[in-house]
Amino acid sequence: MPEMPEVETILMDLKPLLAGRRIVSADCADPSAIKMPGAHGEFCRRVAGTTIVDLHRIAKYLILRLDTGDEIVLHLRMTGRLVYDPDGEQPATRERVALKLDGGGTLRFVDLRRLGTLHLVRDARRLPAIEALGPDPLAPRFTARRLRRLLRGRRSRIKPLLMDQRFLAGLGNIYANEALHCAGIRPTRRAHTITMDEARRLHRAVRRVLRKGVMHGGASTRTYRRPDGSVGRFQEAFEVYDRAGAPCPTCGEPIKRIMVAGRGTFYCSRCQR
């Protein structure tokens, strides 16, 4: 699943291409992608003729704000992709929704497993799924002290807690693995045992790996691609994720792989306590 750095990369790639462009028409090859009253017919009617005035992100959600005040809210889920087709001629394989733009060009929502969603709403922040999100770890107000307060009294293991979008918005399996290694914290630790010093390290580590992911254009481990079809490069900088048996870059100990809450988990038994 694309995580925060992948969505941020998509946002940065698309913003100069889409901001100020008029949507000539919308085609819904797969109406089940549209999650709103009236479904695809209402969606296509309301977006046709509108202008995209801004793009922004909330956690893993990408939001296109229109000049009518409506907002298109996209969540890519497991295999969703946004493809910018400058010619706008041929539909893409597994295409679900296409927005045809003035001056040529089409934004295509492609989704192999058909789990991604689009909403058309007046205020994305009022969507129940977005209202339920935890803090954005890159927001200035998210401090180490706030993280420590959130951890206090939590008896769940730290890695699945970091991946819980109601606790912290935007982290998935890749970045949780990398952040815990960077912080020197074992993924099976109970959250309430994290000390203030460890919370500071974890706070720095989460922000560091997310920014590093953005700097590398995201991680293309499976289906993720940037809107122009190019791959991200963060997978070339992994320290533990998907590196079972390889030496830890810090101490040389072989990286271990275990299952935690049903997800493949990678860590160094020497560096992470």
Look up tokens 């946004």; give the residue.
Answer: 82
Q: What is the pLDDT of residue 92?
A: 81
CA 97 from centroid of its chain's CA atoms:
20
Architecture of domain 4-131 in this structure: Alpha-Beta Barrel (3.20)
57-88 tens-digit pLDDT = 999 999 999 999 999 999 999 999 999 999 87
| Domain ranges across the chain | 4-131, 144-267
Q: What is the pLDDT of residue 184?
A: 99
Q: What is the pLDDT of residue 4?
A: 97
Stretches where the chain sits below pLDDT 70 are: 37-38
Consult the annotation and say whether 154 binds a ligand.
yes
CA angle at 118 for the pair 71 and 12, rounded to the nearest 5°: 65
**227 in active site:** no
209-255 tens-digit pLDDT = 999 999 999 999 988 999 999 999 999 999 999 999 999 999 999 99
Look up residue 68 and give its two tokens. Answer: 């009518």
CATH of 144-267, one of 3.30.365.10, 1.10.8.50, 3.40.50.300, 2.102.10.10: 1.10.8.50
List the catalytic residue out of 60, 65, 108, 186: 60
Q: What is the pLDDT of residue 37?
A: 67
**263 in active site:** yes
Dist CA 188 CA 84 (whole Å): 41
List the catalytic residue out of 22, 114, 207, 263: 263
Backbone angles phi, psi at 151, to 5 degrees: -75, -25
Consult the annotation and say whether 226 binds a ligand.
no
Dist CA 125 CA 131 (whole Å): 6
Q: pTM score, two decimals?
A: 0.95
Q: What is the pLDDT of residue 82?
A: 97
Please say whether the dihedral angle defined by the alpha carbons of residues 112, 175, 3 and 115, taken in this order, is positive or negative: positive
**86 in active site:** no
**186 in active site:** no
DSSP SS3 for 117: strand
